[in-house]
Structure 1
Amino acid sequence: MKFDRLLSIVLLLQHRDLVPARELAERLEVSPRTIYRDVEALSAAGVPVYAERGKHGGVGLLAGFRTDVTGLTTDEARALFVLASRSAHSALGLDRALSSALRKVMAALPAPHRPAAELTSRRILVDPDRWMAPSRAEPDLAALHTAVLADRRLRIRYRHSGSTKLAGYTVDPYGLVAKAGVWYLVADHRGRPRLFRADRMPGVTVTAAEVRRREGVELQEVWDDLRRSVEARNDEVRVSVRVVADRLDMFTRIAGGYFTGTPVAGDDGWARVELAYPVLGAVRHLLQFGPDAEVMEPPEARAEMARAAAEISARYT
């Protein structure tokens, strides 16, 4: 995370006069070019950091500058203790380390801020998992976490959606991303960004070859591009559905991930909802709502629902 890296740079510079940019890059696992961009960001934020070019140059802080957690405001202290579900840290093998780190931060906070921080940690919880999410195979995230930190190319076995066979890939990892309770490996394959679900990856091998990431490109940038490409697919099927107004809340909880806009309530007891599915057959997902939801458009989606209903009727006849 960029914020963590910026803070790490400041903390490292507090103990030395000048640190070579290449050394900072190696310690923080980024490129020297990224370090220089971070120096510019710190300077723009008011941190007295500077860079000296040349053989004996490096990055440094003006004498006398210091920062520590005692400078935190009450709101900043609270923000540190608003935690996402600890299951994410547990999956990475970091749950005990997280608890230890928070105890240390709590001990370092100014006494007036401790009650607010402690109360916040007990009163606010963020759980990123969806309601009634189906159970799925738990990936070995601890091993995958270690693998992506090795700065080596990875050889993975991967099962694509709808397939029972495993495909093999050699990839250059940028890191791991947790999205709505699902973990993904973000990596380049043959120089192009790819997304791999961790729970479809039964095998990961760290090779001896150094990672070959695109220079100056970070995890956040690659993830943003991949997320936009997924959300902007041109081959998706747009479906217009009318839903009984009294069932709209339940419909939203279950099908909300496919919404393309806000439902519009009518005066006839029905609400109109626009959805997008990756393939035509996926509209059968709406059968679970029975007569409380009706596909209105397009005609091919209505036909698909009619075929599915006929197949179900024939099964039970």
Structure 2
Amino acid sequence: MRADRLLSLLLLVQTRGRMTAQELADELEVSVRTVYRDVDALSAAGVPLYADRGPAGGYQLVDGYRTKLTGLTIDQAESLFLVGMPGPAAALGLGTELAATELKLLAALPAELRTRAERMRERFHLDAPGWFREAEQVPHLAAVADAVWNQRRIRARYRRWKAPREVERAWDPLGVVLKAGVWYFVARRADDGEVRAYKVSHLLDVEVLPEQFERPPGFALADYWDGWTRRFEQGLIRGEAHVRISPQGLDRLQHLLGGPAMVQAARENAEPADADGWIRTRIPVEHVRKAHGDFLAVGADVEVLGPPELRALIAHTVAALASVYAEGAPTRSQRI
């Protein structure tokens, strides 16, 4: 356990530069006194760690010192190749670099770990996009990623869902995100400073400008994305449906877009089940038209009780289907 912690301390200082004892203690989840002892142990082992005194001080390594990739556990070595994403890396223009990095990493690993890491890569593969959909065309992804990396402003034409459909704006791109096979870029608008997420596939053209920008202090892409997705999902909910639904209906609901959240809400709002296992409950929905399609997909295992507009729309559709499929009714080709 202590050996792992010593290696972690060394790698932290190597990758981040100067760190205070308190910062190291927070990262390693130990006391400052433990950090002092660990630093002494590393120094005694010949690691050139030294401390700068004062408010801006901290521990750092002698310039030019780099540790080799030793001390990796079997699980850590295997996990390095489990996170490889050749498809997304290629889309970002980094496919060649990723392959070269893997080769260098394999060469640096001991023989036993190298064998296990290669076995992991051979047996597990990540395919991010969903079923029955082609990958979106993102010809400008590499340009956006380059602007993110080099902190350069971009000017672009963007296609959006509301009028005017095409707009031209300048953005400070702060990051790119791959979500369920769809690429997004998070950017700050140059005119008003608002930070939002946009689809990369909606970019019609991109010009990377020579001017650089400063990132917002304390901006963390993962934290922003987590908050943005929660706000986006909550913003889709505009109403509520009252239903009677069977256990089989809940199972079918699970497989629709947004189904897990709908099932969770249905269980939380459910009244006691009747003798057949059906429950009365309330389910959040986006809007009437979307809920109409969702509940029709569940079939006869759900009865919509309200709102009246939704119930009437489903009743109309069911009546129309009944007339089409009624015994003896002419088929469409016969009517033509």
Please give the secondary structure, in 2, of the residue aligned with 1:195.
strand
- What amino acid is aligned across from residue 144 of structure 1 in structure 2? V
What is the Cα deviation at residue 196 of structure 1?
Answer: 0.4
In 2, Cα distance between equivalents of 1:271 and 1:199: 42
- Say whether the 8 Å CA contact 1:157–1:169 is kept in structure 2: yes
Please give the secondary structure, in 1, of the residue aligned with 2:255.
helix
In structure 2, do the counterparts of structure 1 residues 275 and 258 end up closer, same or farther at CA, with 3 Å as the change threshold?
farther
Pairing 1:278–2:286 present: yes
In 2, Cα distance between equivalents of 1:261 and 1:41: 43
What is the Cα deviation at residue 143 of structure 1?
Answer: 2.2
Moved more, 154-163 or 103-112: 154-163
What is the Cα deviation at residue 149 of structure 1?
Answer: 2.1
- Say whether the 8 Å CA contact 1:173–1:211 is kept in structure 2: no
What is the Cα deviation at residue 148 of structure 1?
Answer: 2.1
Q: Indicate the percent of aligned positions where both proteins have the same amino acid.
A: 31
Give ranges in structure 2 of 5+ residues lacking alignment: 1-9, 29-34, 40-48, 325-331
In 1, Cα distance between equivalents of 2:226 and 2:178: 13
> What does residue 165 of structure 2 align with?
165
In 1, Cα distance between equivalents of 2:52 and 2:157: 44
Q: Which of 3, 14, 19 is matched with 1:10 structurally? A: 14
What is the Cα deviation at residue 112 of structure 1?
Answer: 2.2
> What does residue 310 of structure 2 align with?
301
Structure showing greater relative contact order (alpha-carbon pairs closer than 8 Å, 6 or more residues apart): 1
> What does residue 100 of structure 1 align with?
100
> What does residue 207 of structure 1 align with?
209
In structure 2, do the counterparts of structure 1 residues 192 and 147 end up closer, same or farther at CA, with 3 Å as the change threshold?
same
In 1, Cα distance between equivalents of 2:223 and 2:114: 36
In 1, Cα distance between equivalents of 2:321 and 2:52: 70
In 2, Cα distance between equivalents of 1:109 and 1:240: 59
Counting only pairs closer than 5 Å after superposition, residues 58-97 of structure 1 correspond to structure 2 as 61-62=60-61, 67-83=67-83, 85-97=85-97
- Say whether the 8 Å CA contact 1:191–1:214 is kept in structure 2: no
What is the Cα deviation at residue 167 of structure 1?
Answer: 1.4
> What does residue 29 of structure 1 align with?
none
In structure 2, do the counterparts of structure 1 residues 167 and 299 end up closer, same or farther at CA, with 3 Å as the change threshold?
same
In structure 2, do the counterparts of structure 1 residues 232 and 126 end up closer, same or farther at CA, with 3 Å as the change threshold?
same
In 1, Cα distance between equivalents of 2:288 and 2:15: 54
In 2, Cα distance between equivalents of 1:115 and 1:274: 54
- Say whether the 8 Å CA contact 1:241–1:293 is kept in structure 2: yes
- Say whether the 8 Å CA contact 2:148–2:174 is kept in structure 1: yes
- Say whether the 8 Å CA contact 1:238–1:277 is kept in structure 2: yes
Q: Which of 216, 237, 255 is matched with 1:253 structurally? A: 255
In 1, Cα distance between equivalents of 2:100 and 2:311: 56
In 1, Cα distance between equivalents of 2:199 and 2:181: 11
In 2, Cα distance between equivalents of 1:70 and 1:276: 52
Please give the secondary structure, in 1, of the residue aligned with 2:116.
helix
> What does residue 191 of structure 1 align with?
193
Please give the secondary structure, in 1, of the residue aligned with 2:217.
coil
- Say whether the 8 Å CA contact 1:188–1:194 is kept in structure 2: yes
What is the Cα deviation at residue 40 of structure 1?
Answer: 5.9
Counting only pairs closer than 5 Å after superposition, residues 132-147 of structure 1 correspond to structure 2 as 132=132, 134-135=133-134, 137-140=136-139, 141-147=141-147
- What amino acid is aligned across from residue 168 of structure 1 in structure 2? E
Deviations 1:102-133 (A, max 9, x none): 1211111122212221111122223232223x
> What does residue 231 of structure 2 align with?
229
In structure 2, do the counterparts of structure 1 residues 273 and 41 end up closer, same or farther at CA, with 3 Å as the change threshold?
farther
- Say whether the 8 Å CA contact 2:246–2:301 is kept in structure 1: yes
Counting only pairs closer than 5 Å after superposition, residues 92-131 of structure 1 correspond to structure 2 as 92-131=92-131
In structure 2, do the counterparts of structure 1 residues 195 and 273 end up closer, same or farther at CA, with 3 Å as the change threshold?
farther
Is the radius of gyration larger for structure 1 or structure 2?
2
In 2, Cα distance between equivalents of 1:104 and 1:252: 44
Tell me the TM-score normalized by structure 2.
0.68
Paired residues in the alignment total 287
Moved more, 106-115 or 268-277: 268-277
Q: CA RMSD in A?
A: 4.0
In 2, Cα distance between equivalents of 1:130 and 1:72: 34
Deviations 1:210-249 (A, max 9, x none): 2253222232232223122213327533345566655765
In structure 2, do the counterparts of structure 1 residues 67 and 249 end up closer, same or farther at CA, with 3 Å as the change threshold?
farther
Deviations 1:136-194 (A, max 9, x none): 64112222222322312222222223668211222221110111111111012222221
- Say whether the 8 Å CA contact 2:187–2:195 is kept in structure 1: yes
